[in-house]
Amino acid sequence: MLKQQNILDYSVGEDAQLFLLLTKVEKKVTRTGKEFLNLELRDISATISAKMWSGFEIFFHSASDGNIVKLDCKFDEYNGTPQLIINRIRLANESDGVSHGDFLPRSQRDLDEMKREWNEIIDVLTNEHLKTLIQKIFDAETKEKYFNVPAGKAWHHAYINGLLEHTLEIIKICKTACDIHPELNKDLIITGAILHDFGKTEELSYETNFDYTDKGKLIGHIVIAAMRIDEKAKEIPGFPEPLKNQLIHLVLSHQGKLEHASPVIPKMPEAVVLYHADELSAKSNAYLNVAKNDRQGESNWTNFIRLAETAIYIPPMDDDDNPKDSLFD
């Protein structure tokens, strides 16, 4: 794991030697005809733009988006926004011992523990059709992507391993629902939970930045998952057609409403459970992140959050009236 000071913690005028991830690189020309490099870079804490005014030709011909680079630079600002002025830059090489994962935010839960939890969930499935289907879908490469991909670009669980963390939360909630209602088809719900956002492995790119792929924008993760289930179930002899349809139904309907891009609404109790468990996991993660990161100065409120259609309230912390204090009464 890379150890260096976060770019958010530098001040204007400081010099630095840093490894950063290159998310955009282009050559531009000033109005007066002078060429320069314009770059976008990121570390784990933030994104920053940078300029390089000379000596970049060799680098420019070898570099492309997604490369890790090492640079010698000074922190500057332009129109009130921080930027870097680069003196020297080179591509990172193997001996530098850095990897893309050093530059992207990441779930705070332990990955191995999450993998173990996920494997145990599969192990105790009793429906052999569903178990086989999961094994077929998750070859080594797919599993790797699935374990790494964030659950979204910005709103909830928007960090490496985020989809896995999100999926485990949903399953925990679904199990509570199955405790309450033992008549629910637990294996179907759990398989639906595992696969509901599976399509995000193809909808999102996350190696160098979190963004939507062309396929993601044209088709969307919901239908991508449906197509994969259909394809793999066909390869399993005797996979029951009604079961396949139910599972695809759970995936298609998991956003609950047509206007949220589900092409069918939930038509089974199991689908309704999955929909609301997904909502609970996504919204509580999103609101808690916002409350942690977007507080406005000393106000009790964050700024306005478009997806929540409101600012979020953060109870006063250092106050006798603070209800949390009472936990220690």
Comparison of 77 and 88: residue with beta carbon closer to a copy of itself: 77
Are the beta carbons of 70 and 19 closer than 8 angstroms?
Answer: yes
Query: What residues between 205 and 224 interact with a copy of itself by CB under 8 A?
Result: 214-215, 217-220, 222-223
Query: What residues between 103 and 132 interact with a copy of itself by CB under 8 A?
Result: 126-130
Does 197 participate in binding a copy of itself (rule CB under 8 A)?
no
Are the beta carbons of 188 and 214 closer than 8 angstroms?
Answer: no
Does 5 participate in binding a copy of itself (rule CB under 8 A)?
no
Q: Which of 17, 45, 97, 263 binds a copy of itself (CB under 8 A)?
A: 263
Interface with a copy of itself: number of residues (CB under 8 A): 93
Contact region for a copy of itself (CB under 8 A) — 15-23, 43-51, 98-106, 183-191?
Answer: 183-191
**DSSP codes of every residue in 124-151:** T---HHHHHHHHHH--HHHHHHHHH--S
Burial (CB count <10 Å: 0-12, 13-18, 19+), residue 197: buried
Does 27 participate in binding a copy of itself (rule CB under 8 A)?
no
Comparison of 148 and 191: residue with beta carbon closer to a copy of itself: 191
Query: What residues between 278 and 307 interact with a copy of itself by CB under 8 A?
Result: 279-281, 283-285, 287-288, 291, 297, 300-301
Q: Which of 1, 13, 81, 293 binds a copy of itself (CB under 8 A)?
A: 13
Contact region for a copy of itself (CB under 8 A) — 41-49, 99-107, 133-141, 266-274?
Answer: 266-274
Rounded least distance, CB 269 to a copy of itself, Å: 4
Does 194 participate in binding a copy of itself (rule CB under 8 A)?
no
Does 310 participate in binding a copy of itself (rule CB under 8 A)?
yes
Query: What residues between 66 and 95 interact with a copy of itself by CB under 8 A?
Result: 77
Phi, psi of 5 (to 5 degrees): -65, 140
Determine the distance from the C-alpha atom of residue 308 to the mean position of all C-alpha atoms in its chain, rounded to a whole number.
18
Query: Residue 6 corresponds to which tokens in the numbers above?
Result: 């976060």
Comparison of 88 and 116: residue with beta carbon closer to a copy of itself: 116
Rounded least distance, CB 59 to a copy of itself, Å: 19
Return contacts of 36-43, CB within 8 angstroms, 24+ apart: 37/86, 39/86, 41/69, 41/84, 42/103, 42/104, 42/209, 43/4, 43/6, 43/7, 43/18, 43/19, 43/102, 43/103
Q: Which of 183, 293, 306, 318 binds a copy of itself (CB under 8 A)?
A: 183
Are the beta carbons of 2 and 102 closer than 8 angstroms?
Answer: yes
The residue assigned the tokens 């913690």 is 9
What are the start-end ranges of the H helices in the chain? 57-62, 111-123, 128-137, 140-148, 162-180, 186-196, 200-203, 214-218, 221-234, 241-252, 269-293
Are the beta carbons of 225 and 198 closer than 8 angstroms?
Answer: yes
Rounded least distance, CB 17 to a copy of itself, Å: 20
The C-alpha atoms of residue 223 and residue 235 are separated, in whole angstroms, by 19
Comparison of 140 and 180: residue with beta carbon closer to a copy of itself: 180
Q: Which of 43, 102, 187, 203 binds a copy of itself (CB under 8 A)?
A: 187
Does 267 participate in binding a copy of itself (rule CB under 8 A)?
yes
Does 26 participate in binding a copy of itself (rule CB under 8 A)?
yes
